[in-house]
Every structure is written in structure tokens, then in C-alpha cells.
């Protein structure tokens, strides 16, 4: 019933991009009657601040969902990552290995500690951090690794753990896309000591802006709590431990997240059906290739993502995105490669690393509309439009202009 309540998927005028709205947006937040009711209840109680029933409830339920021992809600995913790094005592002069194929926030959080991100390539087999390339980039300054479960695909955690253990390093997981992903029967939050989640507007579970830190080490819990809240002891307000941050998430935001969790089975099933419909309609299409899944894992269907296979004669990705826009479908290019951003350039004395898989994904990857209110039929319609665009452009003027034979 809730997902048929289409009024909740409309965007406010201020969020409307200029020009005609596409028929299918790439991502649409699912804020329905249950979220409104919880938020209203929260406001009725005036418990809209940084503590309260919904925050406690959300943290306990999210921990159970992802299989973590503890969860602390945070103001967003970037602050959760920052906390995870601080809990590993990352400081200026340290190096932290991170994929370049991720949202820039992953690397920014490392910079926020004063440390230097060292970019490693992702593997063509998973689009997540390549453990072999990580090993090759370890120096005496390396303290740890931040691995990203890109588009929900679980990173090669066993291999990364082995590399880390061999060099006395730690691994933190950026699980912004992986609230619903599992490895075997274990949720993403059971991997490693610390994982960071995002509930930004375009995420599968959202409250507009929000995040969570998952911990599997009891010894880190108290410090994580005080770093999140000005350095203040969780149990004695007058006891201050160190310079902390205000990275708390409000009870009001958590009320919205609780409503999302009440509906999580429907959300999971909806998105799985959308991915299955895309997969059936697009598999075998010349010029398209797909993210291979980590063996034994289940991936969260965040944004259905694929590559224009230039080797197989596909048109350039940007031409495909423009063609889809003309067909009323918003598609999104993958994240730009961070190692090529001037302000994330290499440490002095080192050149820009050679990361061929990352460069290829950044140039050829794109994501298709994926959101709860879509139906599998919508996915089939979008897939047909994509195939039409690919056919038209394979020999069309844009392709010739862009030098593709």
C-alpha cells in the first residue's frame, strides 16, 4: 500500500533541475506515510534532539540488520568514516590505502585526519579494491586500508584481511552502498572491526542526511561515543576525555530511519525484482557489461550499474547518457577517479598512479534508475530505451564525432 502512494515520490520545486523533468529519475527517495507518521510522533513528543527512543531503537535494529555488535548513528556517512579513522589513531604523516573508484567522501575523510590517501586500483572481477594492488602500495608509513563495497558488491574481505595482517595494518569498510549486502549468511556490518554507512537522500535506506558507524570491538565503543559527542563521556556528562566532534544524528532523523527499517523486506524484494528485470532484459546486449558479483555474496541493489564495453563496439558512455536523457531516462556516470583530482594528487615525489581499471570504470560506467517505487515493467521499458540508444548510436553521428569507428 505504501509504495503505491505515489505522491511521496514527487520532488519539491527547489529540487527540480531546470528543463523538463525526466520520466525516470536515477534515484527517488521513498518517504511515505510511515515515515511521516513517525516524524509526527517524534515532534509531538518534542524529542527531536540528539537522543531518544527512535535513536536507540534504530541503532539496535540496524545493528541486527547488518550483523554488527554495536551501531552508533552519525550525522552522515563521511563523519562515520572520520570516526572510524580516528578510532584507529590515524594522524598527519600516516598513509591510508583507498580505492580511487569511490565517492570522493571516502578520500576526504582520510584528509580530515591529516593523513594522506594512497590510491589503489579496483579489480575488474568485482570493481572493488584489488588486494594485489593494495599490497604493492604499502610503505613504512601505511597504517591501514579503507575498502569500499562499491555499488553494494562486497569487497574481497578475506584477501584484504590477509594483506593487512601480513603488514600489521587494519581494514575499515566504507559500506555506504551495502546496508543490505551479505557475505555468506553474514551481514556487511560483521566484516572487520569498523564499517561506515550512509543514509544520504539517494541511498537505499535514507533520512535525507545521516550515517552510522558499526563496531565489532567492545573496547572501541566508549571512545566512539565520546568522539561523536564533543569528547563527553556517555554516562557522566561532566567528564570530558579529549577534543571531540558533534557528529550526532537527531532522534527525528532516526524516526524516519525506523520507518524505513519497518519496511525493509519490501524494499529488498522490490529492488531485487528491478535488478532481475534489468538483468533479463539487458544480458547479452552487445556493448554492455555488468559488475561481476563477489562469490558467495548477496549485493544490495543500490543503483543498477553497468559499463559501455568500448572493446565490443559500444558508443561512448556520455553519448549513451545523453541519448537516454532524450528518451526521458536519467542515467548517472560513475564517480570520477579521485587520483586524478588535483587536490587529491600524489604525495610529493610520487607520480599519479597507474590505475587502469579505475580509469576504465570512470570513463565507461553508468547507473540506471533504481528506486523503490519503480516496477520491474519500468525497468524493462528503460532497458528497451537503452538498447534503442545503443543501436542508434553504434553507427550514429555522435559516435563518429567522438572518433569511435
Ligand X SMILES: Cc1ncc(COP(=O)(O)O)c(C=O)c1O
Interaction between residue 77 and ligand X (CB under 6 A): yes
- Among 200, 248, 271, 339, the residue binding ligand X under the rule CB under 6 A is 200
From the list 110, 119, 181, the residue with the least C-alpha distance to 151 is 181
CB of 386 to ligand X, least distance (A): 23
From the list 336, 340, 333, 335, the residue with the least C-alpha distance to 354 is 340
DSSP H helices in 4-52: 33-45
Binding to ligand X in span 88-127, by CB under 6 A:
102-103, 105-106
C-alpha cell at 299: 549485493
Interior CA angle at 156 toward 91 and 137, to 5°? Answer: 45
Interaction between residue 78 and ligand X (CB under 6 A): yes
- Return the number of the residue (129 or 383) whose C-beta is nearest ligand X: 129
- Among 76, 157, 183, 204, the residue binding ligand X under the rule CB under 6 A is 76
From the list 268, 229, 291, the residue with the least C-alpha distance to 51 is 229
Do 161 and 184 form a contact (C-beta atoms < 8 A)? Answer: no
Angle between helices 376-394 and 317-326 (to 10 degrees): 120
Interaction between residue 211 and ligand X (CB under 6 A): yes
- Among 35, 174, 327, 330, the residue binding ligand X under the rule CB under 6 A is 174
Interaction between residue 294 and ligand X (CB under 6 A): no
Interaction between residue 148 and ligand X (CB under 6 A): yes
Do 215 and 70 form a contact (C-beta atoms < 8 A)? Answer: yes
CB of 335 to ligand X, least distance (A): 8
Stretch that binds ligand X, among 74-82, 225-233, 247-255, 317-325 (CB under 6 A): 74-82
How far apart are alpha carbons 179 and 55 in whole angstroms? Answer: 17
Interaction between residue 365 and ligand X (CB under 6 A): no
Total number of residues shown for the chain: 405
- Return the number of the residue (211 or 316) whose C-beta is nearest ligand X: 211
How far apart are alpha carbons 18 and 371 in whole angstroms? Answer: 22
- Return the number of the residue (106 or 399) whose C-beta is nearest ligand X: 106
CB of 255 to ligand X, least distance (A): 18
How many residues line the site for ligand X (CB under 6 A)? 14
Do 304 and 278 form a contact (C-beta atoms < 8 A)? Answer: yes
Query: How far from chain centre, in Å, is Cα 292?
Result: 17
Stretch that binds ligand X, among 64-72, 171-179, 312-320, 379-387 (CB under 6 A): 171-179
Binding to ligand X in span 310-349, by CB under 6 A:
none
CB of 15 to ligand X, least distance (A): 16
Stretch that binds ligand X, among 23-31, 37-45, 75-83, 270-278 (CB under 6 A): 75-83
Interaction between residue 198 and ligand X (CB under 6 A): yes
- Residue with nearest beta carbon to ligand X: 77
CB of 200 to ligand X, least distance (A): 4
Do 328 and 368 form a contact (C-beta atoms < 8 A)? Answer: no
Containing 146, the helix (H) or strand (E) segment is strand 142-148
- Return the number of the residue (28 or 148) whose C-beta is nearest ligand X: 148
How far apart are alpha carbons 39 and 41 in whole angstroms? Answer: 5
Q: Which residues contact 116 (CB under 8 A, 6 or more apart)?
A: 94, 95, 96, 110, 141, 347
Interaction between residue 260 and ligand X (CB under 6 A): no
Interaction between residue 85 and ligand X (CB under 6 A): no
Q: Where on the chain is the footprint of ligand X (CB under 6 A)?
A: 76-78, 102-103, 105-106, 148, 174, 176-177, 198, 200, 211
Amino acid at each position: 500500500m505504501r509504495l503505491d502512494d505515489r505522491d511521496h515520490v514527487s520532488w519539491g520545486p527547489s529540487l527540480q533541475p531546470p528543463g523538463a523533468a525526466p520520466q525516470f529519475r536515477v534515484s527517488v527517495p521513498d518517504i511515505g506515510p510511515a515515515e511521516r507518521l513517525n516524524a509526527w510522533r517524534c515532534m509531538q513528543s518534542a524529542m527531536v534532539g540528539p537522543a531518544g527512543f527512535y535513536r536507540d531503537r534504530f541503532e539496535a535494529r540496524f545493528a541486527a540488520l547488518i550483523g554488527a555488535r554495536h551501531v552508533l548513528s552519525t550525522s552522515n556517512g563521511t563523519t562515520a568514516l572520520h570516526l572510524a579513522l580516528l578510532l584507529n589513531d590515524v594522524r598527519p604523516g600516516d598513509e591510508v590505502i583507498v580505492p580511487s573508484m569511490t565517492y570522493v567522501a571516502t578520500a576526504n575523510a582520510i584528509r580530515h585526519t591529516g593523513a594522506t590517501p594512497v590510491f589503489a586500483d579496483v579489480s575488474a572481477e568485482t570493481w572493488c579494491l584489488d588486494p594485489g594492488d593494495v599490497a604493492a602500495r604499502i610503505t613504512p608509513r601505511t597504517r591501514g586500508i579503507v575498502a569500499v563495497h562499491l555499488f553494494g558488491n562486497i569487497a574481497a574481505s578475506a584477501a584484504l584481511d590477509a594483506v593487512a595482517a601480513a603488514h600489521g595494518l587494519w581494514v575499515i569498510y566504507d559500506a555506504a552502498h551495502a546496508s543490505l549486502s551479505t557475505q555468506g549468511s553474514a551481514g556487511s556490518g560483521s566484516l572487520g572491526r569498523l564499517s561506515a554507512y550512509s543514509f544520504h537522500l539517494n541511498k537505499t535506506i535514507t533520512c535525507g542526511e545521516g550515517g552510522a558507524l558499526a563496531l565489532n570491538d567492545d573496547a572501541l565503543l566508549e571512545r566512539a561515543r565520546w568522539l561523536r559527542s564533543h569528547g563527553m563521556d556517555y554516562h557522566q556528562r561532566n567528564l570530558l576525555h579529549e577534543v571531540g566532534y558533534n557528529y550526532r544524528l537527531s532522534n527525528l532523523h532516526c524516526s524516519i530511519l525506523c520507518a524505513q527499517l519497518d519496511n525493509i523486506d519490501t524494499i529488498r524484494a522490490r529492488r531485487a525484482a528491478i535488478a532481475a528485470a534489468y538483468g533479463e532484459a539487458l544480458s547479452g546486449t552487445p556493448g554492455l557489461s555488468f559488475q561481476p558479483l563477489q562469490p558467495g555474496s548477496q549485493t544490495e541493489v543500490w543503483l543498477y550499474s553497468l559499463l559501455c564495453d568500448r572493446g565490443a563496439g559500444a558508443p561512448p558512455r556520455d553519448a549513451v547518457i545523453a541519448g537516454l536523457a532524450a528518451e526521458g531516462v536519467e542515467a548517472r556516470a560513475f564517480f570520477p577517479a579521485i587520483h586524478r583530482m588535483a587536490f587529491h594528487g600524489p604525495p610529493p615525489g610520487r607520480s599519479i598512479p597507474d590505475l587502469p581499471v579505475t580509469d576504465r570504470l570512470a570513463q565507461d560506467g553508468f547507473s540506471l534508475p533504481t528506486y523503490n517505487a519503480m516496477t520491474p515493467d519500468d525497468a524493462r521499458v528503460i532497458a528497451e530505451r537503452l538498447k534503442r540508444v545503443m543501436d542508434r548510436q553504434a553507427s550514429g553521428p555522435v559516435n563518429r564525432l567522438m572518433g569511435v569507428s
